Chain A
Amino acid sequence: NAGVTQTPKFQVLKTGQSMTLQCAQDMNHEYMSWYRQDPGMGLRLIHYSVGAGITDQGEVPNGYNVSRSTTEDFPLRLLSAAPSQTSVYFCASSYDRYGYTFGSGTRLTVV
């Protein structure tokens, strides 16, 4: 049981490049979310999903896209990376309201 798996763990992008952060869970969880963590700002919700085919915006969605074609996968796409997107990104999943399980994070630097 791997839990929530995020890849890659580290990534450096040039401004304007695009990339996809991968997130997969093997717990058959309905709920999945993407957060970004910045110093002094805690975790802020980017996008979330309540099930396959259903996604919605969180607090800071601009510059990011998501899709949920399967229960297991919830990739986060950066369309045109900007230095302001330098952050640590966490994916999380939950079966119900009883708390999320977090992945180990992706540290992204945009230069």
Chain B
Amino acid sequence: AQSVSQHNHHVILSEAASLELGCNYSYGGTVNLFWYVQYPGQHLQLLLKYFSGDPLVKGIKGFEAEFIKSKFSFNLRKPSVQWSDTAEYFCAVRKNGGGNKLTFGTGTQLKVEL
């Protein structure tokens, strides 16, 4: 079965620190990859997505992610976090031909301290 792993469950950073959140998936076929963010008390919002082409994807709010096919990874990065980035981050994978279903990781809770 396809699975998505986010190994960092809780991350605490100071403002201006750099961020990298890990995401690995287990499916070997063609996949589309997503990162969603959920701010406290809100619904999920799309940060960025990868379908094909340049493996370095830039999203909103200064986030980027790199698809490394050989490592089945799609890590999220931000050079300098802000207090307002405090949220939960979810990696998700869509398998081509899978009925447009998304499989989510368990999420990473990020807290940015002033």
Residues of A within 8 A of B43 (CB): 90, 102-105
Q: Nearest-CB distance from B91 to chain A (Å)?
A: 9
B84 CB → nearest A CB, Å: 19
Identity of the chain B residue whose Cβ is nearest the Cβ of A100 in the assembled complex? B102
| Set of chain B residues within 8 Å of A102, measured between Cβ atoms | 36, 43-45
The answer, yes or no, to whether B49 is at the interface (CB within 8 Å) is yes
The reply to whether A58 and B101 form a contact with Cβ atoms under 8 Å apart is: yes
Q: Min CB distance, A85 to chain B, in Å?
A: 19
Contacts of B36 in A (CB 8 A): 102
Task: Scan residues 57-111 of chain A and give those whose CB is less than 8 A from a CB of chain B.
Answer: 58-59, 90, 92, 94, 96-105
Size class of A's contact patch? 20 to 34
Q: What CA separation (Å) do A48 and B98 show in the bound complex?
A: 11
* A98 adjacent to B99 (CB under 8 Å): no
Contacts of B107 in A (CB 8 A): 40, 42
Which of A58, A90, A97 is B94 in contact with, Cβ under 8 Å?
A: A97
Is B106 in contact with chain A by the CB < 8 A criterion? yes
Q: Decide if A48 touches B99 in the complex (CB within 8 Å).
A: yes
Tally B residues with Cβ within 8 Å of A: 25
Chain A nearest Cβ from B88, distance in angstroms: 9
Q: By the criterion CB–CB under 8 Å, are B101 and A48 in contact?
A: yes
Cβ A41 vs Cβ B102 within 8 A: no
The contact sample of 19 A-B pairs, CB cut-off 8 A, is A33-B102, A42-B107, A43-B104, A45-B101, A45-B102, A50-B99, A56-B99, A58-B101, A90-B43, A94-B100, A97-B100, A98-B49, A99-B49, A100-B102, A102-B44, A102-B45, A103-B43, A104-B42, A104-B43
Q: A42-B106, A43-B102, A102-B43 are in contact. List 14 more A-B contacts (CB 8 A).
A: A35-B104, A41-B106, A42-B6, A42-B104, A43-B90, A43-B92, A45-B103, A48-B99, A48-B100, A48-B101, A58-B101, A90-B43, A99-B34, A102-B45
